[in-house]
C-alpha cells in the first residue's frame, strides 16, 4: 500500500474522563519516518493506540487524517484497511491462529519465507502467534507481521525493547527494508517510532524527532541531535529545537 500523510490536528486523547494527551499537532509526510521520544508515562503508547483506534483511547478533541480521509471516528479494522499498521509493545497471544494462516489470510504467502528468514523466524511459521514466544521473538514477529500486512504507515511501539544484541541489527535492518529506506521517497512507507534506546537511528533514515512530556509534544527537531540532547541532559528543552505548545517545559513538568 502506498504511503500517505498522517496528520494530527489539535488532538486530545482521554480514557473516560482522564485526559492523557492534549494539544497534539503532528504531520508525518508520505514516506517520512518520525521518532517519538519521551519519559515513561508521558503518553507515547497511548498516542499510537489512539491513532490506531484501539479502545479505550478516545479522541475527545481535534482530528486525525490519513491522506484526504478523516479517520478518528473509524474502528480499528477500517483504519487497518486504509493502510495503518502497528507493531505493539505487548501484543496478545492468538491461540489457534498460526503465522502461516495469517499470512494466507493477508494473501502474503509469497512474502512469508524470506521475511521470516530475515528475522530468524523461519521455524515459527507453523506456530500459533505469540503463544510461547519469548519477549524478543514477540518483537521480531511484530515486524514480520507488518511485512505481511504491508501498511502504508507503520507505528512501532519500542521495537527494540527485549531484543538481544545479536537480533537487534536484524530487527533494525528489517525495519529499514520494510520502510523502503533504500528506495525513492515515493516508494517508502511512513512511520512513527517510539524508542528509548535510539538504536533504530542507526538503521533507518529518520526525518524528524519529537519529544513528548506529560502528554504534550514539547519540541521537534533533528532526531539524532534530539537523542544526543536527551542522553546528555534528559528530557529538557534543547535551545535549538522548535518549541511547541503554549507553556514552558519547566511549567509542564511541574504540572
What does the binding site for ligand ATP look like in residue numbers (CB under 6 A)? 15, 18, 20, 38, 40-46, 56
Shortest distance (Å) from residue 188 CB to ligand ATP: 25
Closer residue to ligand ATP in complex, CB, 148/218: 218
Shortest distance (Å) from residue 210 CB to ligand ATP: 12
Instruction: Encode the chain in three state secondary structure.
Output: CCCCCEEEEEEEEEECCEEEEEEEEEEECCCCEEEEECCCCCCHHHHHHHHHCCCCCEEEEEEEEECCEECCCCCHHHHHHCCEEEECCCCCCEEEEEHHHHHHHCCCHHHHHHHHHHCCCHHHCCCEECCCCCHHHHHHHHHHHHHHHCCCEEEEECCCCCCCHHHHHHHHHHHHHHCCCCCCHHHCCEEEEECCCCHHHHCCCCCEEEEEECCEEEEEECHHHHHHHHHHHCCCCCCCCEECCCCCHHHHHHC
Closer residue to ligand ATP in complex, CB, 17/246: 17
Shortest distance (Å) from residue 96 CB to ligand ATP: 27
Closer residue to ligand ATP in complex, CB, 152/198: 198
Shortest distance (Å) from residue 137 CB to ligand ATP: 20
Closer residue to ligand ATP in complex, CB, 144/212: 212
Amino acid at each position: 500500500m502506498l504511503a500517505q500523510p498522517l496528520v494530527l490536528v489539535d488532538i486530545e486523547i482521554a480514557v473516560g474522563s482522564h485526559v492523557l494527551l492534549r494539544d497534539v499537532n503532528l504531520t508525518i509526510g508520505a514516506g517520512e519516518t518520525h521518532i517519538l521520544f519521551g519519559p515513561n508515562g508521558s503518553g507515547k503508547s497511548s498516542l499510537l493506540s489512539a491513532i490506531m483506534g484501539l479502545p479505550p483511547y478516545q479522541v475527545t478533541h481535534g482530528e486525525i487524517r490519513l491522506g484526504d480521509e478523516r479517520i478518528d471516528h473509524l474502528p480499528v479494522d477500517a483504519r487497518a484497511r486504509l493502510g495503518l499498521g502497528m507493531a505493539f509493545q505487548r501484543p496478545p497471544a492468538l491461540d489457534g491462529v498460526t503465522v502461516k494462516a495469517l499470512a494466507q489470510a493477508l494473501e502474503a504467502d509469497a512474502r512469508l519465507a524470506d521475511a521470516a528468514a530475515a528475522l530468524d523466524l523461519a521455524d515459527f511459521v507453523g506456530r500459533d502467534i505469540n503463544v510461547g514466544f519469548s519477549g524478543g521473538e514477540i518483537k521480531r514477529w511484530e515486524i514480520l507481521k507488518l511485512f505481511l500486512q504491508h501498511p502504508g504507515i507503520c507505528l512501532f511501539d519500542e521495537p527494540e525493547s527485549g531484543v538481544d544484541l545479536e537480533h537487534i541489527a536484524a530487527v533494525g535492518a528489517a525495519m529499514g527494508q520494510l520502510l523502503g529506506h533504500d528506495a525513492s521517497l515515493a516508494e517508502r512507507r511512513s512511520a512513527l517510532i517510539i524508542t528509548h534506546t535510539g538504536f533504530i537511528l542507526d538503521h533507518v533514515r529518520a526525518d524528524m524527532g519529537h519529544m513528548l512530556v506529560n502528554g504534550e509534544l514539547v519540541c521537534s527537531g533533528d532526531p539524532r541531535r534530539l537523542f544526543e540532547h536527551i542522553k546528555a541532559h534528559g528530557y529538557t528543552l534543547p535551545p535549538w529545537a522548535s518549541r511547541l505548545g503554549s507553556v514552558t517545559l519547566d511549567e509542564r513538568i511541574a504540572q
